[in-house]
A = this chain, B = another copy of it.
Amino acid sequence: MLEAIDTPALLLDAEKLERNCARMRERVRGKGAMLRPHVKTAKCIEVTRIAMGAPSGPITVSTLREADEFFEMGFSDILYAVGMVPAKVERVAELERRGAKVSVIVDSVDAARGLMEASAKAGVRIPTLVEIDSDGHRAGIKPGAATLFEVAEVLGSTLAGVMTHAGDSYNCDGPAGIREVAERERDATVRSAKALRAKGHACPIVSVGSTPTATFADSFSGVTEVRTGVYMFQDLVMAGLGVCAIGDIAISVLASVIGHQRDKNWILTDAGWMALSRDRGTQKQKVDQGYGLVCDANGRPIDDLIVIDANQEHGIVARRDGGVIDFAKYPIGALLRVLPNHACATAAQHSEYRVLRGGKLVDRWERFGGW
């Protein structure tokens, strides 16, 4: 049945997706916070509705293109979670005029000033969260820094809250380390919000998130919303962190065997980095999965095969231990499935999901890219 698909192609197991989504929804709600799914992983309306368990709801976006696309489909409560610049204000203003409620983020006085000036010119008031740096990983203001209050002063009544992303959780060893990062993430934002409130700012929103911390946080006390996206699909990096099992990974790349290099014990496939992405996220983990873990056509890992190297349209598959391959099991044209290191990166190489249910191909869901 998968034989009808031109390879390479991106497969999505709808049942695994539903299970992953239900689990996260229950976890976050059970701990008293609101889930604001990040749509940057899937960039797909159908997937996001499954994540919501509803036709629409609050979302996080990484591009204004995502904001445009999702607003068209009825999602009006949108957080654009990448540092805002003045040149992007008009596009947000246009969404606001059409009825969207788009929030943005800044992490400096300069960015806040630029935003306020451009907003005044565009005649809009854009609710703004201040980004907090909870782990030194990327952007944000360090908890306790005076800059926080200076930014809040500039924002005035457009200050809507604080947010952080604990990207460092991806570098942890396992659940214990992730729990610590999650507590730092919670503590940094909750303390910052309290400090702002003590100075008379309302600061209603306290927003945190990453798939590892959302999965293992002991508490969301003081947190109002959790942003997370990878959990919908899961991937090998998440499995390496203990966030999910290999069997939870909902997407895979369908590939055809196109050649054998018998002296090297290599199988060549037509899924190169164009289909898998160049992401090597498991390289620093305990188990390096190369460019992906190889499964049979039913999605079960097979013979400890991984994609050891990738060219544009060629994947080189070998046993992890370099051992002998029984090539008779993998004739020319045989189908394999490759589990991705990083769901966001691999999915981004494709324009649609071929949806499986009970192992049968049941649908095609579009995804979009661009900015």
Contact = CB atoms under 8 A, between A and B. Distances in A.
Contact of A351 (B63, B107, B344, B369): B369
Contact of A91 (B3, B6, B83, B277): B6
Interface string A281-314: 0000000000000000000000000000001111
Interface string A84-123: 1111100100000000000000011011001000000000
Contact of A345 (B278, B314, B370): B278
Contacts of A133: 261
Interface string A307-331: 0000111101000000000000001
Contacts of A370: 350-351
A34 interface: no
Interface residues of A, number: 60
Contacts of A314: 82, 138-139
A341 to B, nearest CB: 9
Contacts of A333: 85-87, 114
A147 to B, nearest CB: 10
A88 B6 contact: yes
Contacts of A64: 6
A272 to B, nearest CB: 9
Contact of A111 (B7, B138, B259, B274): B259
22 contacts: A6-B91, A7-B371, A8-B371, A40-B313, A62-B313, A63-B313, A83-B270, A85-B332, A87-B256, A110-B260, A110-B332, A111-B259, A114-B332, A138-B316, A139-B259, A167-B311, A273-B279, A273-B345, A278-B280, A312-B344, A351-B369, A351-B370
Interface of A: 3, 6-9, 40, 62-64, 82-88, 91, 107-108, 110-111, 114, 133, 136, 138-139, 167, 256-261, 264, 268, 270, 273-275, 277-280, 311-314, 316, 331-333, 344-345, 348-351, 369-371
5 closest cross-chain pairs (CB), A and B = A83-B258, A278-B278, A85-B333, A62-B313, A83-B259
